[in-house]
A and B are shown apart, each in its own frame.
Chain A
Amino acid sequence: MNSQTFNKLTPYMFMAPAVIIMAIALLYPLGYMVYGSFRDWDPSQSISETEFVGFKNYITLFFDPAFRESLSVTLIFAFTVVIAEMVIGVGLALLLDRNIRGMSVLRTLFILPMMIAPVVVGLMWRYMYHPTVGTFNRTLKSWGFEGVDWLGQHALLSVIIADIWQWTPFIFILALAALQSLPRSALEAARIDGATGWQQIIYIKLPLMMPVLIVTALLRLIDAFKVLEVILVMTEGGPGLSTEIVALRISRTATEFRELGTAAAMSNYLLILLLFFTLAMFAFTRLQEARAARLARQVQEEG
């Protein structure tokens, strides 16, 4: 091997250990899951003893009303929380983007919920929602109202509220960062041009924050599809199937119904959905970059 090819290979040799570990840690389980989804697989069997069934698991799932219900719960949950969190998070960021004394303390307080472990968040909200001793119903009753059957009749709404409480801070800090990196002088120019506070938000701030906000929303959406612990602790998917999101159904299919093949197929459906959103995010950032590059080229050509 001459020294030139050796030099070219050097970086790959240094990368090799990381690549191998990544391949084993990421691709092996993924391949295992895809492989398993085409088999009729009981947890007591090793995978080599299982029977190949083709697309049976996928087709069964597709026509399974319980899975469809669970998918629609997931979609409703994910889109509702992301929309609500975006509105509240961005609104708070717009409100708190100013230099008043004590603002940094306030900002820190706002991001606390995000730092609590999801299981703890679930437990906390379960106690607060408790029909008789929970904070909410006690407060309502002390004001003379009827108690609300939070985790019964309004289970989906209740878990949505808990998720909004926990994850709005994520949007808030990203939106705040986006706001603070906006060109100050453009905002000053807008003030001189006669824009009121609202007009500055609508015509200048939001459009300029949009790239960050879109990526943030997609990130949050991907995350919301995978939420598990909080709902598991609060409702275990009940009552009925009303809060059984796909992640929860996967875990129940695998452990309670002992159908690993179906669970794997379900995971793959979720994976495809998430892949779609991830690709959308990727495409969006690439589009932005391409647009910036095109503008830069245009300037240079005239140069």
Chain B
Amino acid sequence: MFTFENVYKIMNLGSAVESMPKIRLDKLIKRYGAVQVLHGIDLEMDEDEFTVLVGPSGCGKSTTLRMIAGLESVSDGEIYINDKPVSHLEPKDRGLAMVFQDYALYPHMDVARNISFALRLQKRPKAEIDAKVREVAATVGLSEFLHRKPGALSGGQRQRVAMARALAKDSDIFLFDEPLSNLDAKLRGQMRAELGVMRQNVHKNMIYVTHDQIEAMTLADRIVVMHGGYIQQQGKPEELFKRPANKFVAGFLGSPPMNFLDAELKSDGDQLFAAGDGFKLAVPSELAATLGETAGAVTLGIRPSDLNYDPDAADDVALDLRVTVSEYIGAQSVLMCACGGASVTVELKSETPIALGETLRFAVRPEGIHLFDRKTEKAL
């Protein structure tokens, strides 16, 4: 069929057409009685994008997801799917599939009937349903369990049934509410990898809620960090990791978390320094250039991975840290250190000989220096 859009595609000018977002949240607000738990969520998700909502417990991730699903009413604002407002629609009319944290399987139906429930409601022909069930069950490795009830499955298998049930529906949009949080660490890692593979093959919009930042970083095309009912920052994982918009995002993403030190900005000749209790670090000129006239009280943020053990480093690019606690975790050890009055976490190869109470010098990578306004906590 002749459309301009096709012409653009053929001419490889696709980017010239502003593609419309698949899902758009417009100033979404949720109140429970007098308590407001979501304060105007604005979010756009493109076609086939894997969006991860991440944040600490109680920040409103599930509420946002459940509002998109239609399981919670919208107090204010609007949800658009394919540019159509949907907040007045029943969940079944929104064309989406969801995987719940507790799997939400139908306990009285066997695996095959769980997977085929939506299709049976649609009164699809039996042969088609059977074929679909077999196909989906094979995808998630459940073929031998088709006639088991959920009560006779392990946690990981139930998780797969939940995933299969969502896949069988052929929806455009998949919602996941902490689907891996009830699994043990090993299984979680394995399922995360499988999800990653599925993500490559299944080109659907996926919205994934988790409080696990590793899941968020590995799976997401776009991470949305939430806190206290507000979106703190959204973007590509490495973007958020490298340029966190505020102290909360900086501290939330990354493990072990970023170290924060109180510091003062001081000019000494041409060079700007961040000086605090027991350190005086040179602020790299690129960063200093963007700061403008701001001077005074700031919070200095440095990730453990940006601190390298280097006894020979110069004074103005290094921190002197006194080791207080050492945690051996295999190839790496995590050291809790004191820097003046503050505590700083660093990572160190386990074979490096150290003693508790010893003071070590760590060089700071220049691009690892983050500065935050002490009051507003915004990145400078």
Contacts and interface: CB of A to CB of B under 8 A. Distances in A.
Interface of A: 183, 185-186, 188-196, 199, 203-204, 207-208, 292, 295-296, 298-299, 302-303
A295 B154 contact: no
Interface string B80-94: 000000000011100
Interface string B271-297: 000000000000000000000000000
Given A183-B104, A185-B104, A186-B107, A192 B69 contact: yes
Given A192-B96, A194-B118, A295-B151, A183 B90 contact: no
13 contacts: A185-B102, A186-B106, A191-B90, A192-B69, A192-B91, A192-B92, A192-B96, A193-B121, A194-B92, A194-B122, A196-B92, A295-B149, A296-B151
Which one of A183, A207, A208, A302 has the greatest number of beta carbons of chain B within 10 Å? A183
B349 to A, nearest CB: 38
Contacts of A191: 70-71, 90-92
Given A186-B106, A195-B117, 12 more contacts: A185-B102, A192-B69, A192-B70, A192-B71, A192-B97, A193-B118, A194-B92, A203-B106, A203-B117, A295-B149, A295-B151, A299-B152
Interface in B96-127: 96-98, 100-108, 117-118, 121-122
Contacts, number: 73
B169 interface: yes
Given A203-B117, A299-B153, A192 B98 contact: yes
Contact of B154 (A203, A204, A302): A302
Interface size, B (range): 20 to 34
Contacts of A302: 154
A298 B71 contact: no
B159 to A, nearest CB: 14
Contacts of A186: 104-107
A189 B102 CA distance: 11
Given A183-B104, A183-B107, A188-B100, A194 B152 contact: no
Contacts of B153: 299
A188 B106 contact: no
A208 B109 CA distance: 10
Contacts of B104: 183, 185-186, 188-189
Contacts of B107: 183, 186, 208
A207 B108 contact: yes
Interface string B139-182: 00000000011011110000000000100010000000000000
Interface centre among A188, A190, A193, A204 (most CB of B within 10 A): A193
Contacts of B92: 191-196
Interface string B258-282: 0000000000000000000000000
A292 B154 contact: no
Contacts of A190: 106, 117
Contacts of A183: 102, 104, 107
Contacts of A192: 69-71, 91-92, 96-98
B154 A193 contact: no
Contact of B98 (A189, A199, A208, A292): A189
Contact of B121 (A195, A295, A298): A195
Interface string B39-77: 000000000000000000000000000000111000000
B120 to A, nearest CB: 9
Contacts of B98: 188-189, 192
Nearest to A208: B108
Contact of A185 (B100, B117, B122, B148): B100
Nearest to B117: A193
A198 to B, nearest CB: 11
Nearest to A207: B108
Given A192-B69, A194-B118, A194-B122, A299 B106 contact: no
Nearest to A302: B154
B132 to A, nearest CB: 14
A225 B102 CA distance: 44
Nearest to A191: B91
A197 to B, nearest CB: 10
Contacts of A295: 149, 151-152
Contact of A193 (B108, B148, B169): B169
A185 B101 CA distance: 9
A295 B145 CA distance: 13
B213 to A, nearest CB: 25
A299 B148 CA distance: 11
Contacts of B165: 189, 193
A150 B70 CA distance: 52
A292 B105 CA distance: 16
A298 to B, nearest CB: 5
Contacts of B102: 183, 185
Contacts of A195: 92, 117, 121
A207 B109 CA distance: 10
**Residue among A194, A195, A298, A299 having the largest count of chain B Cβ atoms under 10 Å:** A194
B106 to A, nearest CB: 6
A298 B91 CA distance: 35
A184 to B, nearest CB: 8
Nearest to A194: B92
A145 B215 CA distance: 74
Contact of A189 (B90, B100, B151): B100
Nearest to A291: B151
B71 A188 contact: yes
A303 to B, nearest CB: 8
B142 to A, nearest CB: 14
A279 B13 CA distance: 77
A183 B105 CA distance: 9
